[in-house]
């Protein structure tokens, strides 16, 4: 038995991936802010440090990072699934390849957490560099994704 989706559902599925990714981009900017606050807290002294600790930036950064990892993996797989459902194939190009690269990078970045918690500075620097690379790719992905959505809308 083959499961067939209605044309309306297939059309609206096209927007699940972009909406998820735009939410993820916003979360990425928030995570970057939290990461900067974690760094400020780590470098602060005295009363300033006590005040920054109250913000619980480390906990928030870790929680947002976990959500981001889950959304990135689910969003990437979902985007490919919807493309395949609607077209019978994937379009191998810069948008797909950069997205897969970002998914791998965020997994690698998250895997550094145990080392950072033990104070490994190399892991912290690598984490920061990977995340800024992901953020740069993400901004480009958002723009190229808008072009893809425009193509879908003109075909509709």
pLDDT value at residue 53 = 96
pLDDT value at residue 130 = 98
pLDDT value at residue 1 = 53
Rounded-to-integer distance, Cα 58 and Cα 116, Å:
11
Query: In 77-88, which positions are buried (b, 16+ CB within 10 angstroms) versus exposed (e)?
Result: ebbbebbeeeee
pLDDT value at residue 155 = 86
pLDDT value at residue 10 = 86
pLDDT value at residue 90 = 94
pLDDT value at residue 7 = 86
Residue among 105, 109, 7, 6 nearest 61 (CA): 109
Query: In 103-122, which positions are buried (b, 16+ CB within 10 angstroms) versus exposed (e)?
Result: bebbeebbebeeebeeeeee
pLDDT value at residue 133 = 96
User: Which positions of the chain have pLDDT values less than 70?
Assistant: 1-3
pLDDT tens digits, 46-73? 999 999 999 999 999 999 999 999 999 9
pLDDT value at residue 3 = 67
């Amino acid at each position: 038995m083959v499961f067939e989706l209605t044309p309306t559902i297939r059309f609206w599925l096209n927007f699940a991936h972009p909406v998820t990714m735009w939410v993820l981009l916003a979360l990425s900017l928030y995570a970057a802010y939290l990461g900067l606050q974690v760094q400020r807290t780590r470098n602060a002294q005295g009363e300033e440090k006590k005040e920054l600790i109250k913000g619980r930036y480390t906990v928030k950064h870790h929680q947002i990072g976990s959500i981001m990892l889950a959304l990135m993996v689910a969003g990437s797989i979902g985007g490919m699934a919807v493309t395949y459902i609607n077209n019978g194939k994937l379009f191998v190009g810069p948008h797909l390849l950069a997205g897969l690269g970002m998914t791998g990078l965020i997994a690698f970045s998250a895997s550094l957490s145990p080392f950072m918690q033990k104070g490994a500075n190399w892991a912290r620097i690598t984490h920061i560099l990977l995340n800024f690379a992901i953020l740069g790719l993400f901004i480009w992905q958002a723009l190229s994704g808008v072009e893809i959505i425009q193509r879908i809308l003109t075909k509709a």
